[in-house]
Structures are given as C-alpha cells and as structure tokens.
A and B are shown apart, each in its own frame.
Chain A
Amino acid sequence: GENVEQHPSTLSVQEGDSAVIKCTYSDSASNYFPWYKQELGKRPQLIIDIRSNVGEKKDQRIAVTLNKTAKHFSLHITETQPEDSAVYFCAASIPEGDSWGKLQFGAGTQVVVTP
C-alpha cells in the first residue's frame, strides 16, 4: 500500500524566513496531494493541494511543488509569521477502484515561528 514519509518532524524558523517541508510517497499511481494545517487544539484544515498534472501551485505565501518522477512533494511557506505555527500534514491519495482515493497521511511537522 501507499506509504508517506514526512520530514522534518519539527521545524523552528525565525519570523520572516522561509519554511520547507518535504514528503515522499511510494505508490506511483497516487495523483492527489493535499496539505493540512492543524493549530493547537483545533481541527486539521486544508491549506493547499496539488494534482499530478501540475508541477507547482501557489497561493499567496504558500506553494507546493510536485516531482512525480522522484515521488516527492514539498510545502513552501515564505515570509513566515507567528500564526503559521502549527502542525502540517501532507497526504497522498491511494487510487483504488473507480477513481476514489483514500488518503494516506504523513506523521506531521511541528512548525514553530519565533518572533
């Protein structure tokens, strides 16, 4: 089955610097890769996603890149702010049956942005 590895497990950055989180996946048939942000005591929320027909997607300070050949995808946060402090989860769809995808999640990255 699909296996998703996420690194690093913790990331401390100075406010204003960039943060990069990397995930690798094992199933070359996966074609949907969402990123979720979970603030302390809150629910996970989708912040950005990318599909396999696209190599990069950007939304303001957040971008995701996908390398299908190498089977890895990354989340980039620029100009980090204290409110970016949270746990970030990557996920990859597991294509089974008729185009539905169970999500396999990474273990999460705790991002701490220090002023």
Chain B
Amino acid sequence: ETGVTQTPRHLVMGMTNKKSLKCEQHLGHNAMYWYKQSAKKPLELMFVYSLEERVENNSVPSRFSPECPNSSHLFLHLHTLQPEDSALYLCASSQWLAEETQYFGPGTRLLVL
C-alpha cells in the first residue's frame, strides 16, 4: 500500500500553531483530493486539484490552505485551527478528474488542543 503516502501520520497542535500536511502519490495520477473524516459523518471533500490547478474549494475556512506544486504532491497548510478541526485528513488521487476510482492515503490524524 505505497501508492499514496501521507505525512505525518499523527499531529497534535495548538490553536496558534502553523503546520503542514503532505501527500505524495506514486501512481502517475493527475487529480488529487483532500478529504476530512470525522466520526459518524460522511467523508467531506475539501479541495480538488486537476493537473495542479485547484478546481474545487468546498466552502472550506481560510485557515486551511492547499498547495499543489506538481501532480505528485499535495499539501494542506494549517494555521490558527480550532478544536473542531480535529479529524482524520485523507488525501486521495485518481487518474483523471472523472468518475473513476480514487486511491486514498493512510490519513493524518490531527488533534487540535
């Protein structure tokens, strides 16, 4: 299971900290996604990138800032988060931005104190 990797796997941060989540895919895909997974809730799509261009910003607060420097890497920059932002953040990729299989990374478990 090394197609999509995420670092760090676990992160604890205070509300005033700045941190970044990293996602890397080794599948040659052209679309990448950030999802938020909270307990008992559906997976929430946050951002979508296709060929390094952001094509979706799903009403996500500005304290989350994505970056896609190339088609293999995706970052999520975090600053002044709130405790309710604690969740599992999943990265995914797919061959194209179309109705097809998305491959997920293992996620980053984030705790905001």
Select B105's contact among A43, A46, A99, A103, beta carbons within 8 Å: A43
- If over half of B's interface residues share one DSSP class (helix, strand or loop), that class is named, otherwise mixed; here it is loop
Nearest chain A residue, comparing its CB with the CB of B104: A43
When distances are taken between beta carbons in the complex, the residues of chain B under 8 Å from A99 are: 98-99
When distances are taken between beta carbons in the complex, the residues of chain B under 8 Å from A108 are: 40, 42
When distances are taken between beta carbons in the complex, the residues of chain B under 8 Å from A46 are: 101-103
Could you tell me if B41 and A34 are in contact, using CB atoms closer than 8 angstroms? no
Could you tell me if A93 and B99 are in contact, using CB atoms closer than 8 angstroms? yes
Question: Contact size class for B?
Answer: 20 to 34
Question: Contact size class for A?
Answer: 20 to 34
When distances are taken between beta carbons in the complex, the residues of chain A under 8 Å from B50 are: 100
When distances are taken between beta carbons in the complex, the residues of chain A under 8 Å from B101 are: 34, 46, 49
Report the bound CA distance from A46 to B93 in whole Å: 12
Known: A42-B106, A43-B105, A107-B40. A101 touches B48 (CB 8 A): no
Query: Using a Cβ cutoff of 8 Å, how many contacts connect chains A and B?
Result: 56
Could you tell me if B48 and A102 are in contact, using CB atoms closer than 8 angstroms? yes
Select A43's contact among B40, B45, B106, beta carbons within 8 Å: B106
When distances are taken between beta carbons in the complex, the residues of chain A under 8 Å from B97 are: 100
When distances are taken between beta carbons in the complex, the residues of chain B under 8 Å from A45 are: 104
The smallest C-beta distance from A65 to any residue of chain B, in angstroms, reads 18
When distances are taken between beta carbons in the complex, the residues of chain A under 8 Å from B102 are: 34, 46, 103
Could you tell me if B106 and A107 are in contact, using CB atoms closer than 8 angstroms? no
The smallest C-beta distance from B92 to any residue of chain A, in angstroms, reads 8
Considering only residues 67-115 of chain A, those with a C-beta below 8 Å from chain B are 89, 91, 93, 95, 99-108
Select A31's contact among B48, B90, B99, B104, beta carbons within 8 Å: B99
B interface list, Cβ under 8 A from A: 1, 4, 40-43, 45, 48, 50, 55-56, 90, 96-107
| Apart from the given pairs A49-B101, A93-B99, A107-B41, 18 other A-B contacts in the complex at a CB distance below 8 Å | A9-B40, A36-B104, A43-B107, A44-B90, A46-B102, A46-B103, A89-B43, A95-B99, A99-B99, A100-B50, A100-B96, A100-B99, A101-B98, A101-B99, A103-B43, A104-B42, A105-B42, A107-B40
